Amino acid sequence: MAVMHKSMTILLSLISLLSLCSLLPSSLAIASGSSDGYTINGRVKIPGFSLKGSGLATKASNVKVLLNGGQSVTFLRPDGYFSFHNVPAGTHLIEVSAIGYFFSPVRVDVSARNPGKVQAALTENRRSLIELVLEPLGDEQYYEIREPFSVMSLVKSPMGLMVGFMVVVMFLMPKLVENMDPEEIRKAQEEMRSQGVPSLSSLLPGAQRSN
Amino acid sequence: MAIRAFLLLLILFSSSYYAVALYEDQVGLMDWHQQYIGKVKNAVFQTQKAGRKRVVVSTEENVIASLDLRHGEIFWRHVLGDNDTIDAIDISMGKYVITLSSGGSILRAWNLPDGQMVWESFLRGLKPSRSLLLTPTNLKADKDNVILVYGNGYLHYLSSIDGDILWKMDLSHKGVDIQHLIHPEGSETIYAIGVSDLSQFEAYIINARSGELLKHSSMSFPGGFSGDISLVASDKAVVLDSSGSILVSISFIEGEIKFQPVNIANLVQHISGSAVLLPSKLAGMVAVKIGKSLSFIKVTNEGRLEAVDTIPHVEAVSDSLPFSEGQSGFGLIQHDGTKIHLTLKTGNDWKSHLLKESFKIDQHRGLVHKVFINNYIRTDRTYGFRALIVMEDHSLLLMQQSEIVWNREDGLASIIDVTTSELPVEKDGVSVAKVEHSLFEWLKGHLLKLKGTLMLATPDDIAVIQRLRLQSAEKSKMTRDHNGFRKLLIVLTRAGKLFAIHTGDGRIVWSLLLNAFRKSVTCENPRGLKIHQWQVPHHHALDDNPSVLVVGTCGLNSDASGILSFVDAYKGVELNYIAPHHSISQVIPLPFTDSIEQRLHLLIDAEGYGHLYPKNPEAISIFQEELGNIYWYSVEVNSNVLRGHVVKKNCVPEIGDDYRFESSDLWSVVFPSDSEKIIATSTRKLSEVVHTQAKVTSDQDVSYKYISKNLLFVATVTPKSTGEIGSVIPEDSWLFVYLVDTITGRVLHRMSHHGSQGPVHAVFSENWVVYHYFNLRAHRYEMSVIEIYDQSRADNKDVLKLVLGKHNLTAALSSYSRPEVITKSQSYFFPHSVKTMAVTATAKGITSRQLLIGTIGDQVLALDKRYLDPRRTVNPTQAEKEEGIIPLTDTLPIMPQAYVTHALKVEGLRNIITVPAKLESTTLVFAHGVDLFFTRLAPSRTYDSLTEDFSYALLLITIVALVIAIFVTWIWSERKELEEKWR
């Protein structure tokens, strides 16, 4: 096989075009060689490496980029760039594993017919990428947020309800009784006595003594 | 209607919590996570500068890690890909760790303080070769430190600042095997020496700046060479000839090659056995291992060989370490019973030694495999030495001043199999004082917790609360608990060592290096296979300790003889050891036990004979009764055949082995090799419990699950699509799945997925199977579910029939009756690649199940089985919604709170094991890879016990408040009554 220059560079980031120009020659230098593989270059961009709510701080050093379900694994350079070498032509899948972020896998087509042409698309929402810049679709919060203490939560708990019910009985019931017609109360009390329904006081120990 | 609405509300309320999520302060409460690195292959110390002393290691698990030299903790660690084996490591410029991996084709630089990758270079080459890495310290090209790499036949010269290739040179011609790269101090030339055609010594002299070949010389040695060249100085090397009895000293000053052969017998007296040249790099000498003893042979300036000494029983020799001007030393380790002796010698003065220390060592660590030495300057300006030792059980020890400073149990990074054992029952006799004390402590703890909930706690209090929760003595007790949370995990590692790990806090209760699994003359390549529960004493025989059976084989072939070892699960002692002559290809635990509750196991050898264990007459008699009912199947992946076997009734009396049984083939399913290839199989766990066969649907209908232990899920693909993702076009790729009855070989269900390919990961439970595969058309991963229902029982719905007893519910389910099954199936997209899958298991099988998915990111995701229900529709009816059917979506949702491993990673995840707890709602989950992770899960929340954060104090306060209120109201009411009476 003739020595062919079959490198594809799909790492143009709009934001850091300037810094890229200095990086491009080196990546081209790597890719030029006499073998049948291609090089996929890309970049992972995570907005602000700070993670609230999780125990571990995610660092760029803990991010892994995986090709075809772990066939090859690579890591990020400090500027977020990564590359896979010696990749055959065909359709590939790139996944990013970063604690705290959800990345969509990316479908990357490496074409053998017209070298240099690479297509990439997010598989989750079928959005095609102009350049291989991978950004998280969202943050991942691994923990439930503990709700701050509120009186309502205490009241809503079974014990709170118990206490609440008791308060209602203690303070509202007498009020209800007071609002009733004294005649009616007497009638009711007499009725109760005649039926032998014990009053609250008679239920309690020692109540009989007072009777 | 109101009830219905209420029910709906309840369901909606409960369904808003699909998975039981964790609060951040609950981390470590029920889970533990341990980080390991694996067996160390190479180590480089970084102790020159002030600051944190560290050692950088590369391991057999493809891990590169920086360890704290004081405590052995991991500063940072990276797990490289599975086929990205690390060939060499070094430190460049004192700030970069350089790793050469993937057969010398990937060179990476990592920042030493934090482990951030700085640069990565891909080195192309033509053919695989040895890979070498050299970081010359004083060779500066344009004020740049440089790195020399030989890999895949090419010599590369790179800048260590950014990994740029400055020049490269093809050294692959004529099949030369370059073995050493040498950079003589102070010169600008590089030597590359090697051997071609097994007898030709080659030396290349290369200009380091330009990459120009200055000189190439070669000379052939008539005797031929064997083994590797050992380098003794920058212009001298030693090698053995092809007979192994002559040492050849080679000098290649300025490319002038000179050989000086010497017979070993003339150098060393009383030799027996063949000589092996050790690969250790010693200054000015070589170490020759003859039999059990080690001879040190010095190479003089003129290139003559002189024997210096012969030391018996040397286990390991380190490379030599230059520590001061012109002085260098090396360490050697000798074994003596439970003690090991470390001796440090200098090459210049053999009589004296720098250091001689003895250490007492745990005998369950085995022999020393590797030693690395490092020096430091003591306060009195003398040199001190420390040694990093890799043991046979893959553990790592640091020794300094006659004591073990720290040790790491890195054997746990390569677990082969796991089983569990119950802890002993708590004996009575707990003192009252202890109870009172703990009651007081308990109350105090709960009051503190209440303070925490009421936001009254100071930061100190919060710290105390957190510590109290994490270090609860309850969870690390050595006795059985009521809920069955405390167990022993018994794990078998690749080194042949057993560990018992407490599930409460993850500590190692005992460890045992099995002698049977150590390399010996009779057993060249011992390898552990499986670990089974052998004897589980029941309640009436609680005095006996449970034991486990460890199964292994002696070689890599399938016909290598087996090893069986029986180990006490409480004490960690080997009870018995059998080395049978037959091989072991399958271990079948039978559902029978003998009178001392030893489980019967049938071991199938490579020829298809069954061997019964335990070997006692009682076992035979139990087995004879069940003889016709013992079936098993085998999957022959290479020939694409499934076979069913049965134990034949007649054993072979003429051989004289009553415990050997013949088997016969019952059925076989042959997949056509040109169109299908078996890639995955899955079957139900033998221990799985199913609560009910009936499934009541929302429209008051009953469907019966087809529950059989003898179902096998098989996935095949077209041969073209066995390769990597993207190597085939969707039109050429098919995935077929089968459900096969393993007794009759009947295919109950077959399904095809066009345009899909492997890898397939499947889990089989109850009457359903869930499998994960790759859909090439959508270019996404998919998960499918198949549920099987028994149609023959479907007509039992008639109440009249049930009343009159005309139903067939009590009929035994037999594989031989032709089953009328119907299957339901549905597929969904799943975003991630999967490494492994498991399903939760509970004691009675009542609790709903969750799938545990080990994702490519080394996390474990819990996914409710309700998401994989073939009855899901886009618009479920009201009744279906009440039943808990989720509206159909094309993708399975990933909720971050459903990650069992929360913000942690189980690096290098290999397997997930679920064990039921005694509490029905709860299942114990153990995930292992390079790391270990344990937690307990409640798939439908803990409906049968109070949660950890239940506030007892609040309950007590409420009760007290109620009692007070009762009395107050009583007094009030009495007073009122009195007033009434006075009126």
Q: What is the CATH number of the domain that holds A99?
A: 2.60.40
Tell me which of B980 and A173 has the higher pLDDT: B980
B455 and A CB contact within 8 Å: yes
Cβ–Cβ gap B726/A61 under 8 Å: no
pLDDT of residue A65: 92
| Test mutation, B108, B118, B120, chain A, max A CBs within 10 A | B120
- Per-10-residue mean pLDDT for chain A, 211 residues long? 38 34 32 58 75 45 86 88 86 88 87 72 80 84 76 73 79 75 78 63 48 39
In a domain, A91, yes or no: yes
pLDDT on residue B932: 94
The pLDDT value given to residue A36: 64
Identify whether A204 is part of a domain.
no
**What pLDDT, on the 0 to 100 scale, is given for residue B760?**
93
pLDDT category, B143, cuts 50, 70, 90? low
Under the banding of pLDDT at 50, 70 and 90, the label for residue B807 is low
Determine the Cα angle at B864 with ends B860 and B867, to 5°.
120
pLDDT in tens, B225-250: 888 888 888 888 888 888 888 888 88
Task: Please state, in angstroms and as integers, the Cα–Cα distance from residue A107 to each residue in A102, B179, B370, B753, B831, following that order.
Answer: 16, 42, 45, 20, 12
Instruction: Please check whether residues A83 and A176 belong to one and the same domain.
Output: no
Interface membership of B832 toward A (CB under 8 Å): yes
Residues A159 and A76 placed together within one structural domain of the fold: no
Chain B residues in contact with A55 by the CB 8 A cut-off are 24, 27, 902-903
Interface check B348 vs A, CB under 8 A: no
Find all residues with CB under 8 Å of B206, minimum gap 6, and list them: B155, B169, B189, B190, B191, B192, B212, B213, B214
pLDDT digits 0-9 by tens, B27-58: 878 889 999 999 999 999 887 665 678 899 99
| For chain B, percent of residues with pLDDT exceeding 70 | 90
A4 assigned to some structural domain: no
Whether the per-residue pLDDT at B430 is higher than 50: the answer is: no
Highest mean pLDDT among A131-140, B294-303, B458-467, B927-936: B927-936
Compute the distance between CA of residue B718 and CA of residue B773 in angstroms, rounded to an integer: 14
With respect to residue A5, please indicate whether it lies within any of the assigned structural domains: no
Residues of B in Cβ contact (< 8 Å) with A102: 894, 896
Whole-angstrom distance, CA of residue B498 vs CA of residue B487: 16
**pLDDT over 80 at B347, yes or no:** no
Q: Of A114, A139, A164, which residue constitutes the final position of a domain?
A: A139
Q: Measure CB to CB from residue B165 to each of A29, A61, A166 and give the nearest one.
A: A29
Nearest to B741 by CA among B715, B713, B768: B713
A interface test, pick of B79, B969, B980, B981 with most A CB neighbours within 10 Å: B969
Question: Is residue A33 situated within a structural domain?
Answer: no
Question: Quick one: pLDDT band at residue B6, thresholds 50, 70, 90?
Answer: very low
- Over residues B849-869, the pLDDT tens digits come to 999 999 998 999 999 999 999
For residue range B508-538, list pLDDT tens digits in order: 999 999 888 888 877 888 888 899 999 888 7
Whether the pLDDT of residue B4 is over 50: the answer is no
Considering the domain architecture, whether residues A167 and A120 belong to the same structural domain is answered as: no
CB–CB contact A163 B961 (8 Å): yes
Q: What is the CA radius of gyration of chain B?
A: 34
The reply to whether A177 falls in a domain is yes
> Is there a single domain that holds both residue A45 and residue A113?
yes
Mean pLDDT of B300-306: 83
Predicted ipTM? 0.83
Tokens 């001298």 sit on residue: B236
In 3-state terms, what secondary structure has residue B957?
helix
Give the pLDDT confidence score for residue B924 in this predicted structure: 94
Contact present, B890 and B901 (Cβ < 8 Å) = no
Instruction: Tell me how many domains chain A contains.
Output: 2
CB B774 within 8 A of CB B730: no
* A192-206, B313-327, B421-435, B837-851: the lowest-pLDDT one: A192-206
Torsion of CA A182, A184, A186, A190, to 10 degrees: -170
* Percent of chain B's residues with pLDDT above 90: 25
The answer to whether the beta carbons of residues B171 and B192 sit under 8 Å apart is yes
The answer on A185 and A125 residing in a single domain is: no
A84 domain-assigned: yes
Under the banding of pLDDT at 50, 70 and 90, the label for residue B16 is: very low
Could you read off the pLDDT of B188-216 as tens digits, one per residue? 888 888 888 888 888 888 888 888 888 88
Q: Does one domain contain both A123 and A156?
A: no
Contacts of A201 in chain B (CB under 8 A): 970, 973-974, 977
Question: How many CA atoms lie within 13 Å of A171's alpha carbon, on the beta-carbon side?
Answer: 5
3-state secondary structure of B727: coil
Band of pLDDT at residue B432, cut at 50, 70 and 90: very low
pLDDT tens-digit map of B253-276: 887 888 888 888 888 777 667 788
Q: Which chain A residue has its CA at the smallest distance from B976's CA? A: A201
Q: DSSP alpha helices (H): ranges in B753-892?
A: 799-804, 878-883
Hey, which residues 740-799 in chain B have their CB within 8 Å of chain A?
A: 759, 774, 776, 778-781
Q: What's the whole-number mean pLDDT along residues B602-615?
A: 87
Same domain flag for A93 and A181: no
pLDDT over threshold 50, residue B163: yes
* Side-chain-facing half-sphere of B894: CA atoms under 13 Å: 29
CB within 8 Å of chain B, chain A residues 145-164: 146, 148-149, 154, 157, 159, 162-163
Of B109 and A50, the one with more pLDDT: B109
- Using alpha carbons, list the distances in angstroms from residue B702 to B54, B693, B694: 65, 10, 6
DSSP string, B60-109: TTSEEEEEETTT--EEEEEE--TT--EEEEEEETTTEEEEEETTTTEEEE
Q: Residue B872 CB: number of other CB atoms within 10 A?
A: 18
**Residue A124 sits in the same domain as residue A48:** yes
Question: Which residues, in sequence order, are CB contacts of B188 under 8 Å at separation 6+?
Answer: B139, B207, B208, B209
Same domain, yes or no: A134 and A42: yes
Question: Is A72 within 8 Å of B958 when comparing Cβ atoms?
Answer: no
- Flag the least confident range among A107-111, B120-124, B712-716: A107-111
Residue B14 has pLDDT above 60, yes or no: no
Closest Cα in chain B, distance from residue A46 (Å): 16
Q: Is the pLDDT of residue B436 over 80?
A: no
A127 shares a domain with A43? yes
Residue B838, pLDDT score? 94
| Between residues B97 and B243, the one the model is more confident about | B97
Is residue A121 located within the same domain as residue A169?
Answer: no
In this prediction, residue B620 carries a pLDDT of 86
Residue A71 at interface with chain B, using a CB cutoff of 8 Å: yes
The verdict on A166 touching B (C-beta cutoff 8 Å) is yes
Q: Please give the distance of CA B507 from its chain centroid, rounded to a whole number.
A: 17
| Whole-number average pLDDT of chain B | 84
Question: B38 near B410, Cβ under 8 Å?
Answer: yes
Which pLDDT score is estimated for B752? Answer: 92
- H helix or E strand, kind and range, residue A97: strand A90-97
How many Å apart are CA B683 and CA B631, to the nearest integer?
Answer: 15
Chosen from A6, A43, A77, A163 to mutate, greatest number of chain B CBs within 10 A: A77
When CB atoms are compared, the residue of B84, B724, B974 closest to A68 is: B724
Q: Does residue A201 fall inside a structural domain?
A: no
What pLDDT, on the 0 to 100 scale, is given for residue B813? 63
Q: Are residues A118 and A159 in the same domain?
A: no
Answer with the residue of higher pLDDT: A153 or B390. Answer: B390
Q: How confident is the model at residue B649 (pLDDT cuts 50, 70, 90)?
A: low
A4 to chain B nearest CA, in Å? 13
Q: What is the pTM of this model?
A: 0.86
Q: For residue B379, give every residue at least 6 positions away whose Cβ sits within 8 Å of its Cβ, in sequence order, or none.
A: none
Instruction: Confirm or reject contact between B954 and chain A (CB < 8 A).
Output: yes
Find residue B406's DSSP bridge partners: B398
| Nearest alpha carbon to residue B512 among B528, B523, B524, B525 | B528
Contacts (Cβ under 8 Å, ≥6 apart) of B108: A75, B98, B99, B101, B117, B119, B120, B121
According to DSSP, the β-strands at B200-207 and B497-502 are unpaired
Its domain, for residue A50, covers 38-139
Q: Is A112 in contact with A89 (CB distance < 8 Å)?
A: yes
